[in-house]
Structure 1
């Protein structure tokens, strides 16, 4: 009988955690495991998922967040998730992101099923935002999991800042696997040379800092392209207009052919205020793009060795960010060196190597 695994996440609508969990589900289904992907919220699937993976959507989320709707959503999520896990009886349930960790962990505790929880971003934007009661609930769920899987080693420090979590000792670091894109296309994606950044258009990603840093450079022949969607789009559009950069800075939306942008970009920039373990940085390096990254909590310093395979910038230092981008733009030798060194991430973060770590944890 095939080993049964369940993966649980909010949705597969798009994002770094969604790409990672999709890659893992595909990998284990290729190894003849019976894999079920449970999405708490009904949404479109942005990533290619193996036909052998069964996808179950639990609840269509209502945007009208009245007390009644929130209670109804909570009840349906819990009841339906409990029913699915009771029916599947997986060897292990692998949960990604805080709300999925809490719901699935609670159900697994009730059913006596083993589970893993995984936080994918800085706790300042997740568990630190919870009230004391929810933190207490999360603590007990996390404490009884097989492990709390973090993509960056330093992330555990963020959890230790919550008093209850100081006593937890079941943290495990497994870096994100690199995503293998299909081959790049021959066509040019943009008519001019360009700097690239990718991510959800939200405050944490620091695109406002990047736009300001780009303005400081006053480049005549190099544009800035930002790929992604999110709640900060209107605010970023206003900033671009206020700085008279509408012809130079383009918000290009979600792209399915990111590999073409990575291979044709002069520089890739990660301007985040916080991270978990930035997939887009790993992807860009894997495609041989010279990279600059803010040295934010957490992840970039575990991916980039400053001056060897890219440049790290002091968090929030917009002047240093401008200078670092300029340094790579105007030094072909440095750009070529970083490009070649960056590609080694294809080995260190291969899906085979990373999945072996997950497999060892799941089967233990």
Structure 2
């Protein structure tokens, strides 16, 4: 298909959905598929993209008042509709609920093929909408060529809501393992360490990880948490309260995460909810033994308990502590989990996941 593919998302500022979209767009671009990324709002991109991969920003929203939100919404809709009408892309692919709404409406108006993708639990996205927006989502998702979801659990949750229970166009495509960069060989921490990676927000559950680490009471090992977010101050206070200042470090965002995954004793995902956790598959790809809370959604579709990682009951800090202790004190189990974890490089390879997307996009009903 000679026509271009439009990827639509709110921003490329950072996050799991943003990383997957930019990774896919870059892979398509490398394979000479004409690609344009459209960001509804301007923000500094967290991802390095080549100069010849076109990125269009529809607005640079600064004022958050209600009247300006309405103004920006109208501008976004008009600009996106004009782009689809004038450029006539072969297919529009949007990530996340807000982008799905705007791209769906514009695509239906301009008779453009479109695919929508939810990336996390509908409890925090579609189900939080008012009745009008929820009804719009129902109509848009029914008219989409496909509703792509990274985990089967998200599909099952989506179907619980009236209006979505009988969708016939759902498609599961997992997240790809991205290439983080080459290992530097430089030590990132003086002592052995446990690693957590993600946005510092309540749903990521790093407070649970810090509490579990405190319960371990093991000398000579640190806990490093990589990421930024609104919970930084609260986590810092928790660390001081538990007198863990010397052992628990909030290290911010890191461009060399591959070195941290490679050198960590184990990786812990303490999330209260997920979509399909990128940090978990990144850690596994580098052979880092993993422990994950069995939250909704994703971990149970990635980890086979006792085979390539350990799953613990959601929100059970006692079990989380026990699982961490078990890996640290069982070198045979640790080596087994590390070895099997690397198989994620095959199942979730960019080549494999990109092929699934291209097979969907270039199917006869879309290409015609």
TM-score tier after normalising by the smaller chain length: over 0.9
Structure 1 unaligned regions, length at least 5: none
Q: Is the 8 A contact 2:149 2:174 kept in 1?
A: yes
Alpha-carbon distance between aligned partners in 2 of 1:177 and 1:50, rounded to the nearest angstrom: 20
Q: Cα offset for 1:30?
A: 1.3
**1:171-250 to 2 correspondences below 5 Å:** 171-250=170-249
Q: Which moved more, 1:161-170 or 1:118-127?
A: 161-170
**1:146-161 to 2 correspondences below 5 Å:** 146-161=145-160
Give the number of equivalent residue pairs.
Answer: 363
Q: Is the 8 A contact 2:3 2:88 kept in 1?
A: no
- Kindly indicate whether residue 329 of structure 2 is the aligned counterpart of residue 348 of structure 1: no
- Kindly indicate whether residue 12 of structure 2 is the aligned counterpart of residue 2 of structure 1: no
Alpha-carbon distance between aligned partners in 2 of 1:23 and 1:175, rounded to the nearest angstrom: 13
Summarize deviations over 1:296-330 as a string: whole Å, max 9, x none: 11111111000001100010100000000111111
Alpha-carbon distance between aligned partners in 2 of 1:180 and 1:363, rounded to the nearest angstrom: 25
Alpha-carbon distance between aligned partners in 1 of 2:161 and 2:123, rounded to the nearest angstrom: 10
**1:129-168 to 2 correspondences below 5 Å:** 129-168=128-167
**1:1-364 to 2 correspondences below 5 Å:** 2-62=2-62, 64-364=63-363
Summarize deviations over 1:212-251 as a string: whole Å, max 9, x none: 1111111221111111111211221221122122221111
Q: Secondary structure at the match of 2:165?
A: helix
Summarize deviations over 1:92-118 as a string: whole Å, max 9, x none: 111011111111111101100000000
Q: Is the 8 A contact 1:272 1:296 kept in 2?
A: yes
Structure 2 unaligned regions, length at least 5: 364-368
Q: Is the 8 A contact 1:266 1:289 kept in 2?
A: yes
Alpha-carbon distance between aligned partners in 1 of 2:12 and 2:218, rounded to the nearest angstrom: 37
Q: Which moved more, 1:128-137 or 1:160-169?
A: 160-169
Q: Secondary structure at the match of 1:165?
A: coil
Q: Is the 8 A contact 1:226 1:250 kept in 2?
A: yes
Q: Is the 8 A contact 1:2 1:32 kept in 2?
A: no
The CA RMSD over aligned residues, in Å, is 1.2
Q: Secondary structure at the match of 1:57?
A: strand
Summarize deviations over 1:242-283 as a string: whole Å, max 9, x none: 212222111111111100000000010001111111111000
Q: Cα offset for 1:172?
A: 0.4
Q: Cα offset for 1:29?
A: 0.9
Q: Which moved more, 1:270-279 or 1:82-91?
A: 82-91
Alpha-carbon distance between aligned partners in 2 of 1:2 and 1:187, rounded to the nearest angstrom: 45
Alpha-carbon distance between aligned partners in 1 of 2:218 and 2:76, rounded to the nearest angstrom: 50
Alpha-carbon distance between aligned partners in 2 of 1:87 and 1:206, rounded to the nearest angstrom: 45
Q: Is the 8 A contact 1:29 1:52 kept in 2?
A: no
Q: Cα offset for 1:154?
A: 1.7
Q: Cα offset for 1:51?
A: 3.2
Summarize deviations over 1:5-59 as a string: whole Å, max 9, x none: 0001111111111111111101111121111001111111111223331011111
